[in-house]
Amino acid sequence: MKTAVAIRHVAFEDLGTFAPVLAEAGYAVHCVEAADGLAEAEVWAEPDLLVILGGPIGAYEEAAYPFLKDELRLVEARVATGRPLLGICLGAQIIARGLGARVYPGPVKEIGWAPVCLTAEGRASCLRHADGTAVLHWHGDTFDLPDGATRLASSAHYENQAFAYGASVLALQFHLEAEPARLERWFVGHAAEIAATPGIDVPGLRRDSRTHGPALQDCAAKVLAEWLHAGQA
C-alpha cells in the first residue's frame, strides 16, 4: 500500500474531500501535527505523497512558531527527492518559501467563494477541472512565484493562486479540499478573523457554501485524481 503523510496545523483544516480520493487510490494516510514538532524533519520526506495543509499563521513567522523552520527544511528535502508534494493555502506558502520565494501579507483578506482565473498552463493541467468553479478562499498572505515554477491560476487581488514546480510539486493558495458538510468548524475556528473582516459574515459564508460546495467537491476529486495519476504518486 502507498503511504501519504499530511502535515496539519489546525484540526479542522484537514484533508477534507481529498481523504476519500486518497483512500480510493490506495493510500494509507498518516496525519502529523506540525505544532507537536517535526524532529528529524527529513524522515517525513520519504512517503509516496506529502501534503502540507493550511492554517491561520504566516509562513514567515518562525520566530513565533519555530516548527516552521522544520517545515521549510522538509520542503527542501522533499523537493530534492522528486516525489509528489502538495501544499494547500499555508502549505502552498511554505512550499513557495522553501523554494526561495518571498511570502508576505497581501493587500486584502480574501475570504469566501469565487472562481480563479487559470493561465494557459493551468488550463492544460489538472486544474482544468476547476475552470469556472467557485473555490473557497481563506487567506491574507501571498507569495512571489518561485524561480522555475509555473503559474497556474490568479485572482483579482492575488496574481499567484497556484503553481507547479516540475511534475511533482503542486501548490494551491485556495482550498479545493474543503468539505462542505464540515465548514461549520471553520466558521467557529476562524470566528475572530471573520468578525474582523469587513463585508464577511457567517450567514453569508454558510449560504455560499451551500450553493457552491457540491460543485467544489466534485471538481476537487477530479483535480486530485488526475494529479496523482500524472505524477504516478
Q: How high is the pLDDT of residue 150? A: 98
CA distances from 142 to 23, 95, 154 (A): 31, 12, 11
65, burial (CB in 10 Å: exposed 0-12, middle 13-18, buried 19+): middle
Q: How high is the pLDDT of residue 145? A: 98
Q: Go through the chain and tell me how many residues it has.
A: 233
Q: How high is the pLDDT of residue 46? A: 85
Domain 2-231: homologous superfamily in CATH: Class I glutamine amidotransferase (GATase) domain (3.40.50.880)
Residue spans per domain, the chain? 2-231
Residue whose C-alpha is closest to residue 216's, from 185, 184, 181, 187 = 181
Phi–psi pair at 65, nearest 5 degrees: -130, 85
Q: Is 45 helix (H, G, I), strand (E, B) or coil?
A: helix
Contact by Cβ (8 Å): 49, 83: yes
H-assigned helices in 109-201? 120-123, 183-189, 191-195
Q: How high is the pLDDT of residue 233? A: 47
Q: How far apart are CA 17 and CA 135, in angstroms?
A: 13
Q: Model-level pTM greater than 0.85?
A: yes
pLDDT in tens, the chain (233 residues): 899 999 999 999 999 999 999 999 999 999 999 999 886 656 666 899 999 999 999 999 999 999 999 999 999 999 999 999 999 999 999 999 999 999 999 999 999 999 999 999 999 999 999 999 999 999 999 999 999 999 999 999 999 999 999 999 999 999 999 999 999 999 999 999 999 999 999 999 999 999 999 999 999 999 999 999 886 54
**Which three three-digit cell numbers place residue 96?**
513557495
Contact by Cβ (8 Å): 109, 197: yes
- CA 12 centroid distance within chain: 13
Adjacent-strand bridge partners of 148: none
Adjacent-strand bridge partners of 139: 110
**Which three three-digit cell numbers place residue 170?**
503542486
Q: How far apart are CA 170 and CA 167, in angstroms?
A: 8
Residue whose C-alpha is closest to residue 88's, from 185, 37, 19 = 19
Q: How high is the pLDDT of residue 38? A: 82
Strands 117-118 and 150-154: antiparallel
Q: How high is the pLDDT of residue 42? A: 60
DSSP state of 67: H
